[in-house]
Structure 1
Amino acid sequence: MSHPARAIVCYDTHDNGGWKLEDVTVRGPGEGELLVEMAASGICHTDALIGGTPGGATPIAFYPRILGHEGSGYVKEVGPGVTVAAVGDPVLLSFAFCNKCEICKAGRVSHCNKFTEDNFGGPYNVFKVGDKDISGQFFGQSSFASLSVVKECSVVNAKGLVADKKELQLFAPLGCGIQTGSGTVINAAEAGPEDVVLVMGLGGVGLSAIMGAKIAGCRKIVGLDRIKSRLEFAKQLGATDVINGAELPEGKDLAEALKEVCDGEGPSICIDTSGAPPLIKAGFASVRNRGKYVQVGSAPFDFSLELNLVQFMLEGKQIFGAIEGHAYPPEFVPKMIKWYKEGKFPVDKLMKFIKAEDFEQGLKEMHDGTTIKPIMCWS
């Protein structure tokens, strides 16, 4: 049985005018799937990245499809074998994972062997416009639709976690951007009170990392960006120091400026959320001996970082990537909600609610820095 809905259908890149809000139909849920009526969906830079890549440029760039991966809503139907939630339950949505590979069995689900296939792959026939198939299940959810078929692994049951629909909408982005930032500090980098943490790029992920570092009690928390309002915001959320990358001291390059602010030694933990090659190079160069560099932002597909392995060995640095903050959402999402309710994690300061039909404005404000995290409300 099919169901009517509204969705942002991507027929081509956003720059080519390919994103359209349209009437669609949605199939019913199959084995291990739920039909979810979306209350809200955060807009993330990953949506813009994938929906801005020309079809065929990479295996994960194809059209038509429906994006969105920071959803929340209410369960309308459940397919065979589903146990995570029942009809009527409020749910928060996150990423998909196979739960079968050795990585998943070890509890490291954000680095599942099938992560790319299960989150970015397809086409998976979930939606239709007329007789034309439209791919869904982006991150197991495709929350840029008022009604969507969601994989059970992407679902966090929010029954008992949220007080009302407004909270359910507020917490929609927890399942990706917010857990990526805070989780990278707490789970991946394992930051503590002795650490000097540098966060490069102060969008939703970066500012969540700032809040995570404050929760971890890090003695120095440094934020880097080029937008002055974000630098000021970072200080409000817990940054002890900020650096405007567009206003470096005369005669100093970026790596030198980063080291100087971080005790003259460099950060013990550097987290890049920007994906910008110049920042990546400078950030890694600035890390102190035995420090950690964590890549979170999506760099250009053809960018490679060169290392002198002798120097790398002598300095004892670590470099690794982190997806979704090394989080297991059914455990980490409730933890973030608890921090919020204790007043330690003011995610509401990052959010702006918009109507789904105003998604173009939300994208614009996310890119120009006017809004940190736009949340589209479907109802």
Structure 2
Amino acid sequence: MPHNTTTPQSSTEAIVSHPPVDGERQWRLEQIAIGRPAEYEAVVEIVASGICHTDLGCGTAPDGTPGFPVPPYPRVLGHEGAGIVREVGSRVSKVQPGDKVLLSFAFCTQCHNCQFGAPGYCSQFSPINFTGNKEAFATIKESKPIGGSFFGQSSFSRLTKVQEVSMVKVNNLITNDEEFKLFAPLGCGIQTGAGTVTQLAKATADDTIAVIGLGGVGLSAIMAAKLQGCRTIIGIDRVPERIELAKSLGATHGINTAKMAGSLTEEVRKLTKEVGTTITIDATGVVPLIQQGVEFTANQGQVVLLGVAPMDAGLQVQVVPFMVTGKKLLGSMEGGVYPEEYIPQMIRWYQSGRFPVDRLVKFYKVGDYQQAIRDMEDGSTIKPVLLW
């Protein structure tokens, strides 16, 4: 079987992030060069790519910003891709040219967490996923390096080199091309929200769950809570339309933080007969909301952190009072799942009518990426997906 189907260096269209000016992102759709895959890489032709808030943060932060260990500008981001394998490296074994793949994060495969836990907690997660490869692409004329391999994939490029561990083959799971495009964002935000509920927190019908922040991650958690049969599901946000969407996806109650009479803790306790929630998920990274989440969680309940807070943020936890409650404070990376198992599971849930991810997604042509970002930032679109 031939491994190589592209020329030694190909030209491709990509959204390239340049250094921000006065805090404003400088993204441009450009022609750039891409070389041959390394031995454990494949060249994938991207069909659709989701936009995530992590892309926006890493494409706006100045070089050297703490918490953003990305390569120097220019760089190609994107980490929620769906595409077709066009070429494989010499040691790639799980895919071949022509395979349809969904893309997720990368991991080392060798550390304790990769071998015995969840690869989202890989000891090398940050350098592998954020730093990636500083020379993944190049400019056409000067052959100056352009960073890539963001989360093992850099799916904001029509052709991109993808790490073997980041690919999930879905040939036998996809029923049509429209489904394939729809599933592009499964490998990050949606799996993070859903996996946190089903795999990490292991929610059951006996649980009362609150989700703070109803973006793509939070709404995926709401859908997963309904799928698990949780008896009470509380969606918390400040945007009325998102609260209504959460209710249509399975939330039994909604709290609008912009219109509360009392504190969030008081509102949640009213809805739970003063007991509190057994599972509390924060998808905002807003410290005062997280602090109240810790407060309103029931004794022996779990508080799971998904939202990205400022790097120097901290919580106030009085050790002995917290200890005697038996509460757990957890961090969730990628939902604590193994993508090669969990992405097919989400696809099956969708196809059985139990996980309506289509309610979250809106498609845009890649040339309209700026409008897609504006719609995401103003809240009119939950999960924009770019079509190549």
Q: Does 1:302 align with 2:312?
A: yes
Matches within 5 A, 1:10-25: 10-13=17-20, 15-25=23-33
**Which of these residues, 14, 31, 34, is aligned with residue 7 of structure 1?**
14
1:290 alignment partner, SS class: strand
Hey, what's the Cα distance between the residues in 2 that align with 1:302 and 1:355? 38
Hey, what's the Cα distance between the residues in 2 that align with 1:17 and 1:181? 27
Q: Does 1:110 align with 2:120?
A: yes
Residue 337 of structure 1, CA deviation: 0.4
Match of 1:186 in 2: 198
Match of 2:62 in 1: 54
**Which of these residues, 366, 369, 374, is aligned with residue 356 of structure 1?**
366
Q: Which moved more, 1:57-66 or 1:300-309?
A: 57-66
**Which of these residues, 331, 334, 353, is aligned with residue 321 of structure 1?**
331
Task: Please give the TM-score of this superposition, normalised by the length of structure 2.
Answer: 0.95
1:12 touches 1:18 (CA, 8 Å); kept in 2? yes
Hey, what's the Cα distance between the residues in 1 that align with 2:320 and 2:385? 47
Q: Does 1:366 align with 2:373?
A: no
Match of 2:217 in 1: 205
**Which of these residues, 46, 49, 53, is aligned with residue 38 of structure 1?**
46
Contiguous gaps of at least 5 residues in structure 2 = 1-7
Match of 1:243 in 2: 255
Inter-CA distance 194–214: structure 2 relative to 1 (3 Å threshold):
same
Match of 1:136 in 2: 148
Residue 354 of structure 1, CA deviation: 0.2
Q: Does 1:96 align with 2:106?
A: yes
Hey, what's the Cα distance between the residues in 1 that align with 2:136 and 2:57? 22
2:135 touches 2:147 (CA, 8 Å); kept in 1? yes
Residue 117 of structure 1, CA deviation: 1.0
Q: Which moved more, 1:198-207 or 1:99-108?
A: 99-108
Per-residue CA deviation, residues 179-215 of structure 1 (Å, 9 max, x unaligned), is 0011000001110011000000000000000000001
**Which of these residues, 327, 346, 350, is aligned with residue 340 of structure 1?**
350
Residue 164 of structure 1, CA deviation: 2.6
1:39 touches 1:165 (CA, 8 Å); kept in 2? no
2:303 touches 2:329 (CA, 8 Å); kept in 1? yes
1:107 touches 1:328 (CA, 8 Å); kept in 2? no
One-letter code of the match for 1:10? S
One-letter code of the match for 2:225? A
Q: Which moved more, 1:12-21 or 1:336-345?
A: 12-21
One-letter code of the match for 2:18? Y
Hey, what's the Cα distance between the residues in 2 that align with 1:264 and 1:365? 38
Hey, what's the Cα distance between the residues in 2 that align with 1:78 and 1:102? 28
**Which of these residues, 189, 197, 203, is aligned with residue 177 of structure 1?**
189
One-letter code of the match for 2:10? H
2:132 touches 2:151 (CA, 8 Å); kept in 1? no
Per-residue CA deviation, residues 141-167 of structure 1 (Å, 9 max, x unaligned), is 000111100000000001101123221
**Which of these residues, 235, 241, 254, is aligned with residue 229 of structure 1?**
241
Hey, what's the Cα distance between the residues in 1 that align with 2:227 and 2:25? 42
Residue 138 of structure 1, CA deviation: 0.4
Hey, what's the Cα distance between the residues in 1 that align with 2:343 and 2:374? 28
One-letter code of the match for 1:256? E
- Could you list the structure 1 runs, at least 4 aligned residues long, displaced by more than 6 angstroms after superposition: none
Hey, what's the Cα distance between the residues in 2 that align with 1:158 and 1:183? 19
2:25 touches 2:59 (CA, 8 Å); kept in 1? no
Q: Percent identity?
A: 47
Hey, what's the Cα distance between the residues in 2 that align with 1:23 and 1:263? 59
One-letter code of the match for 2:92? V
Hey, what's the Cα distance between the residues in 1 that align with 2:316 and 2:131? 29
One-letter code of the match for 2:127? E
Contiguous gaps of at least 5 residues in structure 1 = none
Hey, what's the Cα distance between the residues in 2 that align with 1:36 and 1:262? 48
Per-residue CA deviation, residues 245-295 of structure 1 (Å, 9 max, x unaligned), is 10002xx22222222223321111000011111211111111111100000
Q: Greater strand share, 1 or 2?
A: 2
2:87 alignment partner, SS class: strand
Hey, what's the Cα distance between the residues in 1 that align with 2:365 and 2:320? 54
Hey, what's the Cα distance between the residues in 1 that align with 2:237 and 2:20? 27
2:136 alignment partner, SS class: strand
2:75 alignment partner, SS class: coil
One-letter code of the match for 1:32? Y
Matches within 5 A, 1:245-284: 245-249=257-261, 252-284=262-294
